[in-house]
Structure 1
Amino acid sequence: MKFSIPRGTQDILPGESEKWQYIEEKARELCRRYHYQEIRTPIFEQTELFARGVGDTTDIVQKEMYTFEDRGGRSLTLRPEGTASTVRSFVDQKMHGWADQPVKLYYIGPMFRYERPQSGRMRQFVQFGVEAMGSSDPAIDAEVIGLAMDFYKELGLTGVKLVLNSLGDQESRSNHREALVKHFEPVIGELCSDCQERLTKNPLRILDCKKDSEHEKQATAPSILDYLNEESSVYFDKVKKYLEDMEIPYVVDPGLVRGLDYYNNTAFEIMIDGEGFGAITTLMGGGRYNGLVEEIGGPETPGIGFALSIERLLMALETQGIKLPADHQVDAYLVTMGELAKDQAPSLIHKLRHAGLSVDTDYLSRKMKGQMKAAGRINAGYALILGDEEVQAGTIEVKHMLTGSQETVNISELTDYLKEGKTKGES
Structure 2
Amino acid sequence: MSGPNRPAKVVVAEFARYLRTETTGGMILLGATAIALLWANSPIDDSYRAIRDFRLGPEFLHLNLTIGDWAKDGLLALFFFVAGLELKRELVVGELSRFKQAILPVVAAVGGMIVPALVALSVGWGTPGIERAWAIPVATDIAFALGVLALTASNLPSSARVFLLSLAVVDDLGAILLIAILFTAKFDLVAAGVAVVALALYAYLQHRRVRSAWIYVPLALITWVAVHSAGIHATIAGVALGLLTRVRADEGEEHAPAIRLEHRLQPWSAAVAVPLFALFAAGIKVDSESLSAVFTTALPLAVLVGLVGGKLIGIFGASLLAVKFKLAEKPRGMGWRDIGALSMLGGVGFTVSLLIADLALDGEAVELAKAAVLIASAIASLSAAAMLLHRSRVHARED
Scaled to the shorter chain, the TM-score interval is under 0.3
Which structure dedicates a bigger proportion of its chain to helix?
2
Q: Which has the higher contact order (CA 8 A, sep 6+)?
A: 2
**TM-score under structure 2 length normalisation:** 0.21
**TM-score under structure 1 length normalisation:** 0.20
Which structure dedicates a bigger proportion of its chain to strand?
1
